[in-house]
Structure 1
Amino acid sequence: MSSEDNSGDNTASRPARKTLSLKRTVESGTVRQNFSHGRTKAVVVEKKRRRTVGPGGTEAEPLATAPQPAAAPKPVQPAPQAPAPAPKPAADNRSGVVLRTLTEEEKGARAQALADSRVRDAEERQRAAEEEKRRAEEEERLTKERAEAEARQAEEDAARAKQEAERAKAAPAEQAAPADAEQPAAAPRRPAGGDDDAGKRRPSRPPEKPAPVRRDGERRRGRLTISNALNENERKRSLAAIRRRREKNKSQGPSEPGQKILREVRLPETITIQELANRMAERAVDVIKLLMQQGQMLKINDVIDADTAQLIAEEMGHTVKRVSEADVETGLVTEDDPDGAKQPRAPVVTVMGHVDHGKTSLLDALRQADVVAGEAGGITQHIGAYQVKTEGGQTVSFIDTPGHEAFTAMRARGARVTDIVVLVVAADDGVMPQTIEAINHAKAGEVPLIVAINKMDKPGADPTRVRNELLQHEIVVESLGGDTLEVEVSALKKTNLDKLVEAILLQSEVLDLKANPERPGEGVVVEAQLDKGRGPVATVLVQRGTLRVGDVLVAGSEWGKVRAMINEHGENVTEAGPSMPVEVLGLNATPSAGDNFVVVENEGRAREVSDYRQRQKREKQQVRGGMRSSLADMMTQLKDAERQEVPLLVKGDVQGSVEAIAGALDKLGTDEVSARILLSGVGAITESDVTLAAASNAVVIGFNVRANKQARDLAEREGVEIRYYNIIYDLVDDIKAAMSGLLAPELRETMLGNAEILEVFNISKVGKVAGCRVTDGRVERGAGVRLLRDDVVVHEGKLSTLKRFKDEVQRVEVGQECGMAFENYQDMRAGDVIECYQVETIERSL
């Protein structure tokens, strides 16, 4: 369209053809940046210009950007020219600017230009990063070389100084001056770049490439220290080098295995796989693998026999020594000491006799104490050990034993651990059953007797009767020409107590009692209990050696470390010598009364002995409760199954009391009823005890102990009965009554009379009625009757009718006639005899 055609149009128009091109959007410049030590760095600063194409083809103002690394600009390829768009018809004359839309070719050209610009920007950024990395590596290399040069210079200076010092020592005093004169000429030359001034030794700019100067055989050193600067010898290998060498050896493969250590393995009768591996110093996995190869799939805690363990040990190259499991006790109790090491010791005296004959009262008079007041019911139910000092300064150890028949085991223990037995016999009662039992215990223990005839202050005292009754049991006192000492005493009036002590000391001199106090302690457990605050407490009597605080001891199947020892006065002591009774704290559990204790060298030995004894105890219990084999045993088991049992759970304050209660209840049993003790122990009644009693419908018995609050609450909820006792008489009587209630009552038959049938009448609506005459005794209504025909019992039942004439009567006496009818029986004949009897139910008791 020509200009002439648009001459009359006032609208401004763009040129018909114009070349489309993209201008540079980045303008760059270089800036020099200074750093320390004279270093510089060239930094490229770029300016980016935001490209915004407006309707008139103008662009926006440039935007300053962060400095970028310098890079050679890439020549920009000119964009292809787009054809001029066709002029738009002048339809809108409202504005002086004509807006033209871009064609598809223009849009593509612009997009291509933008893509090329982004590619160029990415390439420029990559080149700048590579240049920065190269520059950093060069800077690091220069720093490292400069440090190495400085280190070498320091090493050379140190070596030169050391050489000069050695020459100064070796040169004579008169040659010192010429040597000093020749020193400047002989000085080694400094490397290039050095400076004589020490303050200017560091160069302002690093050398271009300093050549490394090394002496023959010298390695590159690390950090400069005084030790390596003054040491001309070769430096040792560093820890890092050693670590790198080890890692290298590991990566190359496993090293040669060391020589295997072969051991002598002690094998008991049975051993676990873990213990076997420990004794061979082998891995348990290797032992299990060998067992798997033999076809045995076992775990690490399984037990194998000695033969299998021997095969495994020999397979691994070890030698085997077979030992018995009981060898753990070998050497535990040593033999008697030589006479030269022994010293005199105090005698141990046991006071024995019948119940209520005054044993404890006599001991109280000797000790000037009041033990009887502390015992329930005035009888001794605990075994006690005390020491008494005489007026002459000598010491006597007394053991007080109960006199009740239930405490037989206690008296037997007292007789075993004692040196002398004082037999207390009441002058008014004479020899009683427990007196005879004490005599038998003393004879069994071969212990000398001293008879103390007590209660001489009573009006009915007759010591002659006591002497004569003792003759029946082969006890001949001195007054009758025998060798048994006798003393007439009164514990209440404290008469002749000094004579009793003199007799004890005289008998001990005859026995010549000695022991070695310089050896580990050994003795016997007299009594044991579980104290709420102190734990297991054992009353022990030291027989040989000395027991000290801190010793490790084994008492029966229990062990422990002595934490404290308390004497009879309640005082803490650090050691206890022979014949001294003490309470020991620190055991892991309550031992049994009568167990021997011995001090061992360490806790490991104590555990080993304790484990062995506990295993022995469990095996005995399993054998005792095993299956019965013989026919007689099977019959006994069937009889036991029909026996009525009273389940009980017994808790006591001391081991001896629990033992006595169990023995007394066992004696109460018969073929029909017995007391079965589910659990017996020492200590307070706990929740677990109540739970066990609830599950088995048992009665909980507490002897001198009580249940805690939780146990009482649980007993109320579960309906468990807890009975408390402090006197063994009452306990035995109550259990005896309960067992008697389980006995089947006895039926006793009492004959009332006989009647002879004279005639049998058949009455309507009633049946047959026998007309009888009472020939003996009487006949009562409701009593049991038997119908005898030719002296053979035909029927046994009860009378339904008893009439005299037409009236119902309660009884018919001898010589009278009456009518009788039987319940559910009509076959009566004349001449039969009716026998009338009465059955009485009598309660049985043990």
Structure 2
Amino acid sequence: MSDTTSDDKKTGADGKRTLTLKRSGGDKGTVRQNFSHGRTKSVVVETRKRKFTRPDEKPAAGATQSARPKPAAPAKPVEAKTAPAAPAAADDQRGGGVVLNQLSKSEMEARRLALEGAQAREDEDRKRAAEEAKRRAEEDERRARERAESERRQREEEERLAAEKEARERAEAEAARRTPEPEEDVAAAGRGGAKRSEGGEDSRGGPRRAPGRADTPPRPSPRRDDDRRRGKLTLSNVGADREGRSRSLSAMRRRQEKFKRSSASSEPREKISREVQLPETITIQELAQRMAERSVDLVKYLMKEGQMMKPGDLIDADMAELIAQEFGHTVRRVTEADVEEGIFDVEDNPEDMKPRPPVVTIMGHVDHGKTSLLDAIRNAKVVSGEAGGITQHIGAYQVEKDGQKITFLDTPGHAAFTAMRARGAQATDIAILVVAADDSVMPQTIESINHIKAAGVPMIVAINKIDKPDADAQKVRTELLQHEVFVESMGGEIQEVEVSALKGTNLDGLLEAILLQSELLELKANPDRTAEGVVIEAKLDKGRGSVATVLVQAGTLKIGDIVVAGDEWGRVRAILNDRGEQLKEAEPSLPVEILGLNGTPQAGDRVAVVEEEARAREIAEYRQRVSREKAVARQAGSRGSLEQMMAQARDSELAEFPLVIKADVQGSVEAIIGALDKLGTDEVQARIVHSGAGGITETDVSLAESTGAAIMAFNVRANKQARDLADQSGVEIRYYNIIYNLLDDVKAAMSGLLSPERRETFLGNAEIKEVFNITKVGKVAGCQVTEGKVERGAGVRLVRDNVVIHEGKLKTLKRFKDEVSEVPVGQECGMAFENYDDIRAGDVIECFRVEEIARSL
């Protein structure tokens, strides 16, 4: 063949032979092949067209074997790298028509690998194309199904709208008086119709059409995103060439359900009447929540009633009840005091009750020997610790007689401790009325009788001091009859026992009378329940904190119990008896001191054990809040409005004596305050700036300095810092250990605040005979003294027809031309008033002197 390749050996400029290709109807060129590490080689290639022959035709001599039918190679030239001195290939068309002049073994291997990689990529591309074609076919089939479904729904929708329109027109023609239904209601009648959505589109996703144009095709949505997000297809966009997908069935169902819910919410719901619990005060928001109503509806109702309020505002129970009834609910009023339910007066089973010792209170007049009698019973010198022989606060003790225990409460007999004595009578089972045989019945003996009768407890009369020469027990019995106290010897039912505390006479008889009375009462208590009791006394101890003397009345008080005492609470850390011994528990009728309260309770407060700290704190906070509200109410009630305060200040001119009261125990504080209240009058009274149990601190001195008060200390002392501060600030601290002296000093000080008494003394009368006008002086009355005398500088009144016209002072008093100090009766004189000229003949001038006399309480 003429186009057979052959070696064309040429020598280059560098002396090396190069590979050449003989042009024979092909395309000849040079390519550069790159290797790693920056090495490159140039390869001369020639691309020729393949020559096809018939099967029976023999190839020409020298022809290549590439004419055999093989898969066509890629059209692009194949790169090869030249070898330095390789033998030339005579005829090689296996590379797809590429003739190489000279190839090495490594180059042939690289070429083979490149061809295999190209073949693998080609197979992968063919597979990917087949999958893409299959996916496209499935997508087209799905779109076709969705379009068919949309066309079917569109036809059904149009048929339904036409039927509804026809039915509506027929109904309007039959009943002309009926008002036409809104389009929204008609559209909502069918569950598969094109319902209006909240955004202004119908259920097919298009814009809402105007009434009467139902057959007008809707405009296509301007949004060009996926058709899946655009609802149903309409007639206008079925045949259009639109890209993307239509709305899915799930999305359309969700939209229909949302429309149904909105339609249902617009319908009036059935009212549910609820029972609403109303406390004393409640916020509008909380009331709405309890009624299951919207707070905005309550606010609207209040606005209609003329009250502008917010959901967070507080309203009282009465207004809340009106609102709840207006909204169709029932009301159950509850109070915050319900937090105290279940801790006091717990009912016990009769089979759980066990006998308990009696609680005995000793009462009577001051210095009739109550404490001495108890001292004789206890065989201890209690009276030696009292200042002046006076019991200053309640003491509680327990003694034993024939194996039976008796609890005694020793109450003061002084009148200032009436409230404490009343508490003692209320906490007791039996009362012993001590009457001295020499003094007989005294005023405070009568008060004690009244307290005992008011408490409803049985009484035993102890006639004391029968060892005295002037003792008369029969006189005591006779005088007790006047106060309806009938002793057994006088035909009554009250036991009387003649005793002598000093000699110890007949003390056993007194104890036997107490035990006999307790057997009649059948005193029982349940010791196996939570404890209840009453605070007999409370004080603030410097080393132990708040110490409360508690009489356990029911249950058993144990260490670690959480107790509530008045508006204070705490956990019991220690229990001590009257002898100072530590106990683990306290049974009924046992008086003990407890430690661990976070504050000092008031004498007479009830004590109860609760199960949790949270409830104890809640009860204490409620009681503290009630106490504050009561104090504010009392203050507001006594103060009144600003106008009332000013009027009261003008009318009464009340003087106040500010005081700071500090005592050893709370009961003494209350007694002193009660006594000071009785000292007050309409003109002067004591104002208690602060009171409390415990020593005097710097805070007390600072408070006294700022209010101008004096500090009255009863059985307490001031610490060094308080004393120094009092000396610097000039605050007076007075110490007392007997209440008489404190009251006397306060009474004397308050007497000094009383305005002096104004006493008027009549001097005489003078009758005006004639009135003279004198230059530079004014009118002067020529008078004659008809009664008494007239003095210069004294007060005068001008009386005309027995009516006082003017009251003032004389400017001048002359006899003839001389100024005189006084004019006696029967003489004539000249008078002129200060700043007053309306005088006439016949008027009477009354002369008087005013004296001021100091008063006392």
TM-score range, shorter chain: 0.5 to 0.7
Q: 1:637 to 1:598 in 2, by over 3 A?
A: farther
Q: 1:600, CA displacement in angstroms?
A: 2.5
Q: Which moved more, 1:762-771 or 1:579-588?
A: 762-771
Checking the alignment, whether the CA contact within 8 Å between 1:628 and 1:634 is kept in structure 2 is no
Q: 1:474 aligns with which of 481, 484, 494?
A: 484
The 2-side partners of 1:792 and 1:637 are apart by 32
Q: Which amino acid aligns with 2:482?
A: Q
- The aligned runs of 1:329-728 (5 Å cut-off) are 329-333=340-344, 335-390=346-401, 392-626=402-636, 638-639=647-648, 642-728=653-739
Checking the alignment, whether the CA contact within 8 Å between 2:639 and 2:645 is kept in structure 1 is no
Q: 1:546, CA displacement in angstroms?
A: 2.0
The 1-side partners of 2:473 and 2:820 are apart by 69
TM-score (norm 2): 0.58
Checking the alignment, whether the CA contact within 8 Å between 1:674 and 1:739 is kept in structure 2 is yes
Q: 1:545, CA displacement in angstroms?
A: 2.1
Q: 1:664 to 1:828 in 2, by over 3 A?
A: same
Checking the alignment, whether the CA contact within 8 Å between 1:343 and 1:514 is kept in structure 2 is yes
Helix, strand or coil at the partner of 1:362 = helix
Residue by residue over 1:684-715, the C-alpha shift from the partner in whole angstroms, topping out at 9 and shown as x without a partner, is 22222233333333333322222222223333
The 2-side partners of 1:798 and 1:272 are apart by 67
Residue by residue over 1:178-212, the C-alpha shift from the partner in whole angstroms, topping out at 9 and shown as x without a partner, is xxxxxxxxxxxxxxxxxxxxxxxxxxxxxxxxxxx
Q: 1:798 to 1:472 in 2, by over 3 A?
A: same
Q: 1:839, CA displacement in angstroms?
A: 1.1
Q: Which amino acid aligns with 1:562?
A: V
Checking the alignment, whether the CA contact within 8 Å between 1:771 and 1:818 is kept in structure 2 is yes
- The aligned runs of 1:178-193 (5 Å cut-off) are none
Q: Which amino acid aligns with 1:704?
A: N
Q: Which moved more, 1:552-561 or 1:693-702?
A: 693-702
- The aligned runs of 1:280-359 (5 Å cut-off) are 325-333=336-344, 335-359=346-370
Q: Aligned residue for 2:741? A: 730
Q: 1:404, CA displacement in angstroms?
A: 1.8
Gaps of 5+ in 1: 1-71, 73-265, 277-287, 310-320
The 1-side partners of 2:484 and 2:646 are apart by 43
Q: 1:767 to 1:603 in 2, by over 3 A?
A: closer
Helix, strand or coil at the partner of 2:624 = helix
Q: Which moved more, 1:765-774 or 1:506-515?
A: 765-774
Helix, strand or coil at the partner of 2:601 = coil
Q: Aligned residue for 1:105? A: none
Gaps of 5+ in 2: 1-36, 38-275, 287-294, 299-308, 321-331
Q: 1:541, CA displacement in angstroms?
A: 0.7
Q: 1:360, CA displacement in angstroms?
A: 1.5
Q: 1:430 to 1:801 in 2, by over 3 A?
A: farther
Q: 1:844, CA displacement in angstroms?
A: 2.9
Helix, strand or coil at the partner of 1:553 = strand
Residue by residue over 1:429-462, the C-alpha shift from the partner in whole angstroms, topping out at 9 and shown as x without a partner, is 3333322222122112110011122233344433
Helix, strand or coil at the partner of 2:846 = strand
Q: 1:407 to 1:306 in 2, by over 3 A?
A: closer
Q: 1:630 to 1:699 in 2, by over 3 A?
A: closer
Q: 1:766 to 1:579 in 2, by over 3 A?
A: same
The 2-side partners of 1:624 and 1:808 are apart by 61
Helix, strand or coil at the partner of 1:578 = coil
TM-score (norm 1): 0.58
Helix, strand or coil at the partner of 1:490 = coil
Residue by residue over 1:234-292, the C-alpha shift from the partner in whole angstroms, topping out at 9 and shown as x without a partner, is xxxxxxxxxxxxxxxxxxxxxxxxxxxxxxxx99949999xx9xxxxxxxxxxx9xx9x
Q: 1:636 to 1:445 in 2, by over 3 A?
A: farther
The 2-side partners of 1:386 and 1:529 are apart by 17
The 2-side partners of 1:297 and 1:488 are apart by 74
Helix, strand or coil at the partner of 1:620 = helix
Residue by residue over 1:546-591, the C-alpha shift from the partner in whole angstroms, topping out at 9 and shown as x without a partner, is 2222222221221111111222122222222221111111111111
How many residue pairs get aligned? The number is 561
The 2-side partners of 1:707 and 1:593 are apart by 24
Residue by residue over 1:754-779, the C-alpha shift from the partner in whole angstroms, topping out at 9 and shown as x without a partner, is 34456778999988876765543344
Q: Which amino acid aligns with 1:535?
A: G
CA-based RMSD of the aligned residues comes to 4.5
The 2-side partners of 1:480 and 1:654 are apart by 41
